[in-house]
A = this chain, B = another copy of it.
């Protein structure tokens, strides 16, 4: 295996170990020492791949975003050619929420990352950029749906985009067991049905 590929593979394995620590033990355990242990390496070996805890967290966060993008991509591929924008948004939302183990691991890590980001300008800018990128995708999709007559023309695409992003708030309700996956899907479908009230 070329050295560059191996380096990347090791970093991904460390990121997955970090996700497991976040999911199973909780945020206070997200130290380089505990992640190294979970990844089955020494602290020194871990430091060869990440110079700091921040660098490790940022990579784990970027990798989580990539994996979510891959899951969304697979979900979209399953919709076939020219999927309805309602279905596209449904896949984007449901793959972001902790409705299955992969998404739960990355969702817990994201929550931890956001809390850290509030007190770290570099992490905060990175987290914000990630959200703004997602927002732009959703907004483009809604604007096109309005142009295609699938969403009523009197809807404000910006406000609709923000409402869809805010539905990631289901994360906390799911994590605490205040709502179940079926209830979340029913609510998301109700919201999307109301958004797409034009001809299908």
Contacts and interface: CB of A to CB of B under 8 A. Distances in A.
Contacts of A184: 162
A176 B27 contact: no
A118 B108 contact: yes
A178 to B, nearest CB: 4
B178 A135 contact: yes
A190 B163 CA distance: 9
B173 A25 contact: no
A131 B176 contact: yes
Interface size on A, as a range, is 35 or more
A163 B175 CA distance: 16
A176 B119 CA distance: 10
State the oligomeric state as a number of copies: 2
Contacts of A119: 25-26
Given A111-B114, A118-B26, A186-B159, A170 B175 contact: no
Interface of A: 25-28, 108, 111-112, 114-119, 124, 127-128, 131-132, 135, 155-156, 158-160, 162-163, 165-173, 175-179, 183-184, 186-187, 189-191, 194
18 contacts: A26-B119, A108-B115, A111-B114, A114-B172, A115-B115, A117-B176, A128-B177, A131-B178, A132-B178, A159-B187, A162-B179, A163-B190, A165-B179, A166-B170, A166-B173, A166-B187, A168-B169, A169-B170
